[in-house]
Amino acid sequence: MSIGMSAAWKAKQPKQKRCDRCELYTPKPDDKCIHCSELNESQVAQLKAQHQETLQDNSTFGKYLLFGSVIIGLLLLLSFL
Ligand SMILES: [Zn+2]
């Protein structure tokens, strides 16, 4: 059930492309970007800066996740000894 459902869910997702101006993913970058079409240049720059911060947050979170899984792996290993 879950495989069929996730396939249907994926089929429903619009194909996203990256906007050249704000570097965010948008359903129709060729038409009007949903993120930056209403913004002026300085607002777009601000948006890009915020986006960069988000990316950095995500990579920090990824490191914590990796660290956590290493600890769990070590604990599992110790429990077998
Ligand atoms: Zn854009």
Domain boundaries in the chain?
Answer: 14-80
Non-local (6+) Cβ contacts of 47 within 8 A are 22, 24, 35, 36, 39
Q: What ranges make up the beta strands (E) of 1-81?
A: 17-18, 25-26
63 Cα: distance to centroid of ligand 1 (angstroms): 29
**Of the candidates 2, 70, 55, 1, the residue with the CA atom closest to the CA atom of residue 24:** 55
75 Cα: distance to centroid of ligand 1 (angstroms): 46
Per-residue pLDDT of the chain (81 residues; tens, 9 = 90+): 566 666 666 666 656 788 888 888 888 656 788 889 899 999 999 999 988 888 778 888 889 999 999 999 999 999 988
**Residue 31: per-residue pLDDT:** 75
51 Cα: distance to centroid of ligand 1 (angstroms): 12
49 Cα: distance to centroid of ligand 1 (angstroms): 13
14 Cα: distance to centroid of ligand 1 (angstroms): 16
CA 61 to chain centroid: 12
CA-to-CA distance for 7 and 5, rounded, in angstroms?
5
